[in-house]
Amino acid sequence: MRQLLLLRHAHAENAVPGSADFDRPLSPRGRAEALEAAHCIRAARLHCDELLVSPATRTRQTAAILADELECAARTRYERDLYLADASMLLQIIAGADASAVTVLVVAHNPGISELAQHLAAADPPVELRTSGLCLLRFDADGSDWNALETYRADWVRLLR
């Protein structure tokens, strides 16, 4: 069994004229949301083997809060292409996850992260992740590596936050 956690970054500060969207930090509300997401992961008794994180400031800060709160020693990869990636690009990046990883956490942006959740869940109503929204998808395809994920639909889906 493989598990994929999809997390939309926590709430960020409003854009400041003249500054890049990429550099927007978390707001105080966002820090609290990231902490709450960590508590949801802990309550679900999940252990992350690998973190795939957009290098934007708000996603790095979200992931850092999670890793600190969960005392997570998982491998963290910052992937430039996760920044504002669509569902197809997210799948390509997830395909490169360590084959031995059972649970992978992706911290990225909308609309791509919600599109990917919807694609893999094939749920009705559609999955829409709010800021710091967290979706757990389980795949019973034993022996498959992460590269085969695009050919599967989740066997079990749960919004944790």
Boundaries of every domain in the chain: 2-11+24-159
| Distance, C-alpha 130 to centroid of its chain | 12
Q: Is the pLDDT of residue 157 over 90?
A: no
Q: What is the pLDDT of residues 50-88, one digit of tens each?
A: 999 999 999 999 999 999 999 887 789 999 999 999 999
Q: Which long-range contacts (CB under 8 A, 24 or more apart) does 14-21 make?
A: 21/56
Q: Is the pLDDT of residue 17 over 70?
A: yes
pLDDT at 93: 96
Whether the CB-CB separation of 1 and 138 falls below 8 Å is answered with yes
pLDDT at 142: 60
Give the closest residue to 93 by CA, choosing from 103, 78, 109, 110. 78
pLDDT at 3: 94
Weakest-pLDDT range from 46-50, 70-74, 111-115, 155-159: 70-74
More confident residue, 95 or 144: 95
Stated length of the chain: 161
User: Hey, what are 125's tokens?
Assistant: 């109503």
CATH homologous superfamily for the domain 2-11+24-159: Phosphoglycerate mutase-like (3.40.50.1240)
User: Hey, what are 27's tokens?
Assistant: 């707001």
pLDDT at 144: 64
- pTM equals 0.94
pLDDT at 126: 81
Average pLDDT over residues 94-121: 94
Helix axes 57-69, 28-43, angle to 10 degrees: 40
Q: What is the pLDDT of residues 112-154, one digit of tens each?
A: 999 999 999 887 778 899 999 999 999 886 656 788 777 778 8
Whether a cis peptide bond, with omega within 30° of 0, leads into 111 is: yes
Rg (CA), the chain: 15
Whether the CB-CB separation of 83 and 109 falls below 8 Å is answered with yes
pLDDT at 143: 57
